[in-house]
Amino acid sequence: MNFSSIDAWWWPFLFILIAGWAVTDCWRYLGVVFGGRLGEDSEVLVVVRAVATALVAGVVGNLIFFPTGALATTPVAIRVVAVAAGFAAYLALGRKIIIGIVAAEAVFAILLLATG
């Protein structure tokens, strides 16, 4: 069975739902089962946190330097300045993620409007 084996309007939605669940939720459940037995400072969780942080950094780096869609039409300098401003706001204003996100978006929008 593959994606094009059923010709119904609902099939793509069901396929995405099943495929999305199969590759994410089962690993989350396994993480809960096995992670509950590990100490918070165990070496395994340190490695898992490091890999997760590296993946997020890779995604952010790709969004900054190799964007697609509408973001690709914006200058790279604006994207870099916005991320730097968001990170600075995050550090300066209590290490709250929402503050960093809002600051980065605001700087991005202001710079984009100023240059546009």
Domain count, the chain: 1
Where in the sequence is the domain holding 3, given as residue range(s)? 1-37
Q: How sure is the predictor about 112, in pLDDT bands with cuts at 50, 70 and 90?
A: very high
> pTM, whole model, 2 decimals?
0.68
Three-class DSSP category at 10: coil
Residue 3 scores a pLDDT above 80: no
Please classify residue 82 by burial: count the beta carbons closer than 10 Å to its beta carbon, then call 0-12 exposed, 13-18 middle and 19+ buried.
buried
pLDDT tens-digit readout, 27-61: 888 888 887 888 888 898 889 889 999 999 999 99
Residue 2 scores a pLDDT above 70: no
pLDDT tens-digit readout, 9-32: 888 888 888 888 888 888 888 888
Q: Is 7 inside any structural domain?
A: yes
Please give the pLDDT value at position 28.
84
Distances (CA, A) of 38 to 24, 27, 35, 45, 52: 21, 16, 5, 8, 17
Q: Is 49 inside any structural domain?
A: no
Would you say 112 and 74 are in contact if contact means Cβ atoms under 8 Å apart?
yes
